[in-house]
Amino acid sequence: MSDTAIGAGTVLGRDEYLQAVETVRAAAGVYYATTEVAADAPSGAGVTVLDDATYDQLVRDIAATEAAHPQWQVENSPTQVVAGAAGDVEHTVPMLSLDNVFSAADLLEWHAGLAKRLGHEPRYVVEPKLDGLALAARYENGSLVQIITRGDGLHGEDVTFAVAAIVGLPATLARPLTLEVRGEVMLTDTQFEAANELRLANGDKAFVNPRNGVAGALRGSRDRTYIIPMTFFAYQVLPLPDTYSGPKPNADIAYSAAIELLGELGVHTAATTRAGIAVVDTLPQAQEYIDALLAARADLGFGIDGAVIKADAYADREAAGSSSRAPRWGTAYKYPSDSRLTTLEEVIWQVGRTGVITPRGRVAPVFVGGVTVSYATLHNPNDLARQGLMIGDTVMVLRAGEVIPRIEGFVAAARTGNETEIEVPQVCPNCGGEIDRSQERWRCKQGRICALPQAVRYAVARDCWDIESVGEKLVRQLVDTGLVTDVADLFTLTQEQLLELDRIGEASAAKVLSEIEGAKAKPLARTLTALGVRGTGRSMSRRIARWFGTMEAIQAATAADLEEVDGIGPEKAPVIVEELAELAPVVQKLREAGVNMTEPGLSGREAAARAAESSAEAAALLPLTGENGKPMTVVVTGKMTGPLAELSRNEMNELIERAGGKSSGSVSKTTGLLVASESGSSKYTKAEALGITIETPDEFAERVADFLALDE
């Protein structure tokens, strides 16, 4: 292989180039395929054999090689044609893929080329690059008549049979227009989890990842006895020749206006998601959206692998034109891959702070999501058994944003026969006691007692009781000496007891007791978080505390009552009820120690009840309560100043929810308030365009002053 590199690709030798083309085309064929895998096909059939990063790098290497040796270029090169198997339905206009850039420098170079071609700098629309399958949907007089896959870009396959499973692609538009909608169908995070539960329950193998899953979900819709819901997001609207009756895209109509039209017609678009879309006048504004989207990637609820930037005006698009495989008026800014293939080398069984036993995989080190990953979370023991995962398997490791890496599945086709069974523990790996296997998640029968040090360390963390002076060594001493048998025992410690411990003097003991005393006054949400209720975390604990208002009300809540809290469903609610019952003695000890058991302000449940009687009264209940008692959606951007300067982003979210609001990471039509330290950002510009109220950090601090004081 040559060491000469062009751009982000490496120039290959002739044979290496031909092999790379064959490998990429084979992998792309699997990805774009939409026919059902035969029942007698090998176990690995239908599974992409390349991860995104490897695929992208091979395409860059192919492009670099063709630039250095244009005479080597072959007709089926991925630089010349859209990958995928052709169907028998001709597209109205070619359905092309976008070219990619991988850095701010690449984007600047692309922008300069487009501006030179147009003779001016265009206005752009920037939106998430959805990680799914491209479809075209045709409507006649407002009725959906056909759905076609991308195929090879010229011809696709008719998959109209899957319409019942696709959310966001209505059978009838809000207006009787004749047009074609193009977009991406995908499995959201929630849909992916539900799909695998359905597949396992019906004796089918779990999908490796959402992208692989949506291809299987789509092609299996014709014959499957159960429905796997998928979601469609549109990114283009086209007239249908001769019969088109809707507004015709022309130089006076922008892409952003077409997206707004689709929303009015009832078709899902990225504009209504947490990511939103941005209309920008400059490249720096586009880069700001791209960077912000990357930061929010893990919390979107669906998979993206980058951002798309494209000219807004159709006149600019027509002037820019297209190559044989990609339009020149747009490009995809690819993020570092959040999924890679590697080898599972070992499974380690860990015991969490609530006694839950979790398998953790040690994998061959692989660079994914910006870091080198050596360990990844696995599914629960029952899932491992159902999926048949083995040591030595080729596995897909996923890491989106700052989320802990996890193993999504394995590539059965890559097995060599040398793989070995995973050894499942017969006793608790931590204490050697019995294991409760009655639930999907196994648990040591000693529960929290088994992992008491972890539970105490969690309880004293900043987002819980914030007892900084109780560090890991002190926790170990408190547990080993029997002074702390549960987290409530922290509040019964005396100076005499602390002075008997190693390396604890009077000053240190006084500091510990002072911080413990201060923790008693923390809001209920902090105490609920500190208890470590299974099925909850910081955000969920805040929602529960905010909704019920008191610990007494939370403990009295039934599963049905808990389902009224945003984010709690029928599976999670009974677990929380069971956990609260188990923790009742600990909660009682906390009450007796004088720990606060209320959340400041009017509870969400009371606000909703009052709102039913009087919307005017409801609007004045809390500073961030909107009309009808509903929480106002608040977005925070930029560095906070003044009274908010020392608050972490989690503490800002806590403040917003305590004052009756709901925190969000992106600006949309549903946003009620933007808190911004300065103007000029994409969120600020979008909020201005939508007429959303914008406040400085100081103005917002004044609005929520009564609730901010609780953090002092």
Which residues sit opposite 645 in a β-bridge? Answer: none
DSSP string covering 117-164: HHTSPPPEEEEEEE-SEEEEEEEETTEEEEEEE-TTSSEE-B-GGGGG
pLDDT beyond 90 at 459: yes
Q: CA geometry: angle at 578 spanning 577 and 580, to 5°?
A: 65
| 498 pLDDT tier (thresholds 50, 70, 90) | very high
| 48 pLDDT tier (thresholds 50, 70, 90) | very low
Going 102 to 106 to 112 to 118, the CA torsion angle's sign is negative
Maximum average pLDDT range among 42-46, 527-531, 628-632: 527-531
CATH superfamily for 451-519 is 5' to 3' exonuclease, C-terminal subdomain (1.10.150.20)
**Per-residue pLDDT at 615:** 47
Reduce the secondary structure of 272-321 to three states and give it as a string. HCCCCCEEECCHHHHHHHHHHHHHHHHHCCCCEEEEEEEECEHHHHHHHC
| 52 pLDDT tier (thresholds 50, 70, 90) | low
Which residues sit opposite 346 in a β-bridge? Answer: 362
**Per-residue pLDDT at 47:** 42
Domain boundaries, the chain: 5-72, 89-334, 339-427, 451-519, 624-712
**What's the predicted TM-score (pTM) here?**
0.54
Of the two residues 157 and 612, the one the predictor is more confident about is: 157
| 29 pLDDT tier (thresholds 50, 70, 90) | low
Strands 155-156 and 143-149: unpaired
Of the two residues 254 and 33, the one the predictor is more confident about is: 254
| 192 pLDDT tier (thresholds 50, 70, 90) | confident
Residue 129 known to be catalytic? yes
pLDDT beyond 90 at 98: no
Tell me how crowded residue 112 is: count the other CB atoms within 10 A of its CB: 12
Phi, psi (deg, nearest 5) at residue 446: -80, -10
* 327 contacts 96 by C-beta, under 8 angstroms: yes
Residue 503: both structure tokens together: 């390396």
Of 210, 215, 194, the C-alpha closest to 396 is 210
pLDDT beyond 60 at 230: yes
Amino acid at position 246, single letter: G
Least confident of 52-56, 143-147, 271-275, 545-549: 52-56
pLDDT beyond 70 at 362: yes
| 55 pLDDT tier (thresholds 50, 70, 90) | confident
Reported as half-sphere exposure (CB side, CA atoms, 13 A), residue 104 has a value of: 9
Separation of alpha carbons 535 and 402, rounded Å: 20
In the set 129, 334, 630, 662, the catalytic residue is 129
* 4 contacts 68 by C-beta, under 8 angstroms: yes
Of 164, 137, 185, the C-alpha closest to 303 is 185
| 706 pLDDT tier (thresholds 50, 70, 90) | confident
Q: Looking at 614-708, list the stretches that DSSP marks H as alpha helix, in order from N- to C-terminal side.
A: 615-619, 649-658, 682-690, 697-703, 705-708
Out of 2.60.120.310, 3.40.640.10, 3.40.50.10190, 3.40.47.10, the CATH code matching 624-712 is: 3.40.50.10190
pLDDT beyond 50 at 395: yes
Let me know if domain 339-427 sits in CATH 3.40.462.20: no
- CATH fold of 89-334 reads D-amino Acid Aminotransferase; Chain A, domain 1 (3.30.470)
- Average pLDDT, integer, range 462-478: 91
Amino acid at position 568, single letter: I
Separation of alpha carbons 93 and 74, rounded Å: 24
**Per-residue pLDDT at 84:** 54
Which residues sit opposite 134 in a β-bridge? Answer: 184
| 6 pLDDT tier (thresholds 50, 70, 90) | very low
Separation of alpha carbons 695 and 172, rounded Å: 41
**Per-residue pLDDT at 651:** 79
- Average pLDDT, integer, range 279-292: 90
Element housing 582 (H / E) = helix 572-582
Question: pLDDT of 638-651, one tens digit each?
Answer: 888 888 888 877 77
